[in-house]
Amino acid sequence: MKEIIIPNEVITNKIYFIRNQKVMLDRDLAALYEVETKRINEQIKRNSARFPENFMFQLNEVEYENLKSQMRTFKKSLEENYHSCLQSMVYCN
């Protein structure tokens, strides 16, 4: 098994606060382990006894919409900061 070193910032940016808990989306967890999302979900189902009962839950419609909104806001902020950095780099050169 190959060792994967992931910066803390990458993981921190993938953690959301839902139902008063810090959570990570299955797709983000799969990306960290470099596998397909469906493989993560399959393994959790096959090995459910190895995971705490509250390890995984499905978002309801309101939670899903709130999360999408958070992600859009975060993405917009990243894009603005990226463009700002690019502009600064152009002006400095």
Q: Encode the chain (93 residues) as per-residue pLDDT tens digits.
A: 567 677 788 788 888 888 888 888 888 888 888 899 999 889 888 998 998 877 888 888 888 888 888 777 766 655 555 444 444 444 433
Three-state DSSP state, 22: strand
For residue 69 the two structure tokens come to 């909104």
**pLDDT at residue number 39:** 92
**pLDDT at residue number 93:** 31
Prediction pTM value: 0.61
Q: How far apart are CA 47 and CA 55, in angstroms?
A: 12
Give the number of residues written for the chain: 93
Q: What is residue 7's DSSP assignment?
A: -
Q: How far apart are CA 27 and CA 34, in angstroms?
A: 10
